[in-house]
Amino acid sequence: MRMETTFRAGLEGVVAAQTRLSSVDGDRGELLIGGFPVGELAPRARFEEVVHLLWHGDLPAEAELRELRRQLAGLRRVPPATLDLLRAAAAGRLPAMEALRMAVGSLSLATSGDAQGDAALLVAQVPVLVAAYARLLQGQEPVEPDPGLSHAASYLYLLTGRVPSPEAVRALETYLNTAADHGLNASTFSARVIVSTESDLVSAVTGAIGALKGPLHGGAPGPALDMVFEIGSRERAEPELRARLERGERLMGFGHRIYKVRDPRAEVLARTVAPLYGANGQGEVYELALHVERLAVRLLEEYKPGRGLQTNVEFYTALVLHGLDLSPALFTPTFAVARVAGWTAHCLEQLRSNRIFRPQSVYTGATDRRWVPLEER
Ligand code: ACO
């Protein structure tokens, strides 16, 4: 077999897997999840329906949905040693993504040993762990899970101790659905690489969380919201945005490596945001954010003509999650609550027709070195 010697930094343009889970077309601004356009699926589906779609290739029938809900609700109890780990992390004030990575790694204490069972355990546990840690950081005890609640309702309940409104649950589910899967992104690729060695799903998802935690992947929504708050008023928006662009800064929540038209997920979330802010008395923040968005897109075209810099998913993610009263520290962990559906589905897909990932590297080091004894160096 001929060796491929062309090096592509970041594997850009390299096709490394075949998948039936999601398809991203950046030029047309199209995202399909399990064959459905994201705008068709995300605002309608329960999160459990999307999980079923990703795991099994189809939407569940009513009995299947009931069974999946029962299964996930039955897996919400946190192993005591995992809880101890979260308490130690809270005492050390670790960032939530580090605590989550540690806690998920310890779920080997609760695995069933089969891949599908582990997928369910991981999807069920991630929101429980995130919510428990958020409370521990605030000096509060974790809330006892309520098995009667849906997956999304349970997450909000475990964060606050209050049963959320149907509108809040709908908004969260729409967000979770938009973020459930997105092609072969860095964390998903990490998960597939790990499981391709026939390692287990707990290891794969632990690695994926480590990849998601980096600021180049899961970290933008917090800064996008900070920018809106720092601008503070309509009058300050234009001078402030111009000043940032003239200093050569990037406007957070705009631009995307793949989408050169508006990110279809931003489109879906934009429709979700309006009713949330109508109900929570923070309409002014929403109005300001819309103003900043319109202005930013116009100014980006003025300062960076022809680059196609449009609003990305992170801008509206920040608005949805802020509208649900989640603190910015919870934005990336909530991304993990959604994406664990995709990670586990990719692991199951990889295992169904597995070949271990083993790319090549091009050696660029020295070739003619000779050993020098320690005392002569
Ligand atoms: N604000 C200002 N200028 C920008 C922005 C931005 N948000 N994004 C890109 N540009 C400019 C660059 O400075 C560059 O200008 P130049 O050609 O004069 O040097 C040009 O547009 C092209 O930029 P690239 O860096 O080549 O674009 P790339 O595709 O690599 O970047 C990225 C994509 C990283 C998302 C970038 O747009 C960015 O930094 N955005 C802000 C951060 C952000 O919102 N990240 C979340 C992305 S969504 C997600 O990851 C799920």
Average pLDDT, stretch 32-55?
A: 98
* C-alpha separations of 29 from 179, 184, 242, 251, 332 in Å: 15, 16, 27, 20, 23
Task: Using the atom order of ligand 1, give the atom closest to the CA of residue 313.
Answer: 48
Average pLDDT, stretch 195-209?
A: 98
Report how far residue 31's alpha carbon sits from residue 39's, in angstroms, rounded to the nearest whole number.
9
pLDDT at 199 over 80: yes
User: Given this model, what pLDDT does residue 304 score?
Assistant: 96
Whether 224 and 251 have beta carbons less than 8 Å apart is answered as: no
**pLDDT tens-place string over residues 334-346:** 999 999 999 999 9
Helix (H) or strand (E) holding 23: strand 22-25
**pLDDT tens-place string over residues 76-86:** 999 999 999 99
Average pLDDT, stretch 88-98?
A: 97
**Joined tokens for residue 63:** 């009995």
Sole residue written with tokens 């060796």: 3
Average pLDDT, stretch 189-208?
A: 98
Report how far residue 35's alpha carbon sits from residue 31's, in angstroms, rounded to the nearest whole number.
9
pLDDT at 219 over 80: no
Which residues belong to the active site? 256, 314
Residue 260 — pLDDT band, cuts 50, 70, 90?
confident
pLDDT at 257 over 90: no
Cβ-based neighbour number of residue 325 at 10 Å: 15
Q: What share of the chain has pLDDT > 70, as a percent?
A: 98
Average pLDDT, stretch 184-188?
A: 96
Average pLDDT, stretch 312-325?
A: 92
Q: Which of 302, 307, 319 to mutate to test the pocket of ligand 1 (most atoms within 8 A of CB)?
A: 307
Average pLDDT, stretch 310-317?
A: 90
For the question of whether the overall pTM of this predicted structure is more than 0.85, the answer is: yes
Q: Kindly list the protein residues whose Cβ atom lies closer than 6 A to any atom of ligand 1.
A: 220, 250-257, 300, 304, 307, 309, 312-314
Residue 278 — pLDDT band, cuts 50, 70, 90?
confident
Query: Which is nearest to 179 in space by CA: 341, 52, 53, 17?
Result: 341
User: Given this model, what pLDDT does residue 3 score?
Assistant: 63
Residue 1 — pLDDT band, cuts 50, 70, 90?
low
What average pLDDT is seen over the chain? 94
Query: Which is nearest to 343 in space by CA: 117, 180, 107?
Result: 180
**pLDDT tens-place string over residues 121-148:** 999 999 999 999 999 999 999 999 999 9
Average pLDDT, stretch 146-158?
A: 97
Average pLDDT, stretch 136-161?
A: 97
What is the Å distance from ligand 1's center to 106 Cα?
Answer: 36
pLDDT at 119 over 60: yes
pLDDT at 327 over 60: yes
Closest CA to ligand 1's atom 2: 250
Q: Which of 244, 250, 258 to mutate to test the pocket of ligand 1 (most atoms within 8 A of CB)?
A: 250
User: Given this model, what pLDDT does residue 4 score?
Assistant: 62
Residue 364 — pLDDT band, cuts 50, 70, 90?
very high
User: Given this model, what pLDDT does residue 2 score?
Assistant: 60
Average pLDDT, stretch 270-298?
A: 89
Task: Using the atom order of ligand 1, give the atom closest to the CA of residue 263.
Answer: 48
Q: 247-270 in b/e burial notation, b at 16+ Cβ within 10 A?
A: eeeebbbbbbeebbebbbbbbbbb
Average pLDDT, stretch 267-290?
A: 87
User: Given this model, what pLDDT does residue 222 score?
Assistant: 81
Residue 15 — pLDDT band, cuts 50, 70, 90?
very high
